[in-house]
Amino acid sequence: MPLSLAIVLLWAVAGLLAPWLPLDPETVHLERILMPPWEGGGLGYDDLGRPLLDRLLLGTATSFRVAFFTVSISAATGLFLGSLSGYLGGRFDAVMTRVIDVFLAFPGILLAIALAAILGPGIDNVIFALSLVGWVGFARLARAQALSVRTREHVLAAEALGTRPPRILLRHIVPLVSTPVLVEATFGVASVIIAEASLSFLGLGVQPPAASWGSMIRDGTRYLLVAPHLVLVPGLALFAVVLAVNLAGDWLRDRLDVRLGEGRA
């Protein structure tokens, strides 16, 4: 198992177990305010004397929850709509292509910021906003793959035998399209983690007292010169997880031998 995959699994396990661990992220220790790790133990304490280790773990749970639900919703929606558009073609495909082009005309993070600002802060609104933006990339990839798959022999044979289109779509199109979409989803996880941290940094993500890597970095920037560990701890965690997810995606792509431009039978 590569190191990157081990880090991703550790992040996922920590994200799942953190809400159930006996953590104490909101307890204030006045005598430990801004105390660094080598003096206070653990990963140090923030400007209110709260343990950074506990808050980092809760931030891990936040990033995992947002990434899991956002990528799942986006990938499932994009896979279905893109496969349906590529297989049916015609007017539906023309309309879907225009919709995708409209979404791609706006920078994704700016559109997510606008949606989050309209909907208001909160983790559920962040998931909704990022999902509403994120499905487009998956739909575009699924459509391109479906256009090449629908002309293959087994699909043409199924049509000649009178198989109904919904069955052809679910049995012969979606399984072949899902492999490159799965690889793309791994890279989507990294993008969502960064997007969630960015929204929380701007105050549009999770709200206090809930913890997020982005909000921890934002709060730590005020004490960067006197207590750099407030920024380094969540910043390094964010860097390590995003890098590990991208490397794990490369590893998965090599293992599956997926050629995104040509598809795979």
Domains and CATH numbers, the chain: 3-15+24-256 (1.10.3720.10)
pLDDT at residue 10 tops 90: yes
pLDDT number for residue 260: 43
pLDDT number for residue 32: 86
pLDDT in tens, 31-86: 888 888 888 778 889 888 889 999 999 999 999 999 999 999 999 999 999 988 88
pLDDT in tens, 130-145: 998 899 999 999 998 8
pLDDT number for residue 197: 92
Check residues 161 and 110 and name the one with the higher pLDDT.
Answer: 110
pLDDT number for residue 209: 79
Please state the pTM of the whole predicted model.
0.86
Cα gap 208→231, rounded to integer Å: 17
Q: If you average pLDDT over every residue of the chain, what do you get?
A: 86
Sort 94 into a burial class: Cβ within 10 Å, 0-12 / 13-18 / 19+: exposed
150 to each of 144, 159, 168, how far by Cα in Å? 10, 10, 9
**Sheet strands (E) in the chain:** none
Cα gap 97→120, rounded to integer Å: 30
Contacts of 167 (CB under 8 A, 6+ apart): 158
pLDDT number for residue 262: 45
Per-residue pLDDT band for 241 (boundaries 50, 70, 90) equals very high
Longest dimension (CA), the chain: 78
pLDDT number for residue 191: 92
Closest CA to 62 of 1, 121, 4: 121
